[in-house]
Amino acid sequence: MNIPEDTRLLHIRDIEAGYGKISVLHGITMDVFSGEIVSIIGPNGAGKSTLFKAIFGFIRPQSGSILFDNQDITAQPPEKILKYQIAYVPQERTSFPDMTVEENLQMGMYVVGEGTRVRPAMQRVFELFPRLAERRRQTVKTMSGGEQRMVEIARALMPEPRLLLIDEPSAGLAPVINKQVFATIRKLNMDYGTTILMIEQNARQALEISHRGYVLEDGYNRFKGSSKSLLHNPDIQQMYLGGTTRQ
């Protein structure tokens, strides 16, 4: 898959990272190009979430580099990473449970500091998540887990990020909500041009809406390629796709 180098948005090179003396990532190299959906799949403990924490500045890489739009963001703190228009939706619940949906969305704009942008941004995410529009004045703690996940994704989208990092969007969701969330991710990319780097345990579902993918195992790059090639890779089919791929 030939993609022009000048469209490369995120460039991760030889990242080594971990927690204290425990090394988790071993020379991870990865690229994300503008306008792509890229999925990262692999078993639990492979280092996927650790990689996101390194990108977003929650942990400091021991070596290697992370460039965003040709600017070195390696080891910069999260508050500075936000200013590059990178948004991060972790796997853990991060909504403000005692606030309403609207108040949670407003919190997504605090780093921008432009009050005039709040209402059009909110209208945009309500178009993406009509269910949240219906519940805009509802306290988040009274909502289902799937609805709370929608709030977290919507809040991250408020400042119109150039790159969205999303960790396990389908985790704990009922099938109908899961389908809606993945449809929204695809719509974000196709209609709004949002570049998305996504970790997802449901490898087939992730690859079916992605342009390219990476497989991490034990902190190493195991496979990479177009989503189509990964879906038809016999090793990946056996390990992550239930043995066969859909025709």
Identify whether 44 is part of a domain. yes
Determine, yes or no, domain membership for 175.
no
- The boundaries of the domain holding residue 133 are 87-160
Arithmetic mean of pLDDT over the chain: 91
Question: Does one domain contain both 79 and 1?
Answer: yes
Query: 72 and 5 in one domain?
Result: yes
Residues 52 and 76 in one domain: yes
Q: Please tell me the predicted confidence (pLDDT) of residue 102.
A: 95
pLDDT of 116 above 80: no
**Residue type at 25 in one-letter notation:** L
- Whether 24 and 44 share a structural domain: yes
Q: Are residues 126 and 200 in the same domain?
A: no
| Whether residue 64 sits in one domain with residue 137 | no
**Domain final position from 160, 182, 204:** 160
65 lies in some domain: yes
Q: Is residue 22 over pLDDT 50?
A: yes
Give tens-digit pLDDT for 172-186: 788 888 888 899 899
101: left (phi over 0), alpha (psi -120 to 50) or beta: alpha
Domain boundary among 136, 160, 184: 160
| pLDDT surpasses 60 at 148 | yes
Residues β-bridged to residue 221: 216
Among 160, 186, 209, the domain boundary falls at 160
| Model pLDDT, residue 13 | 98
Closest CA to 224 of 55, 12, 5: 12
Give the DSSP H or E segment for 149: helix 145-157
Mean pLDDT, range 231-241, rounded to an integer: 91
Scan for tokens 């690229």, then name that residue.
31
pTM of the predicted structure, to 2 decimals: 0.91
**Residue spans of beta strands (DSSP E) within the chain:** 8-19, 22-33, 37-41, 63-68, 71-72, 86-89, 163-167, 195-199, 212-217, 220-226
At 54, which CATH number?
3.40.50.300
How many domains, the chain? 2
Q: Are the C-beta atoms of residues 212 and 201 closer than 8 Å to each other?
A: no
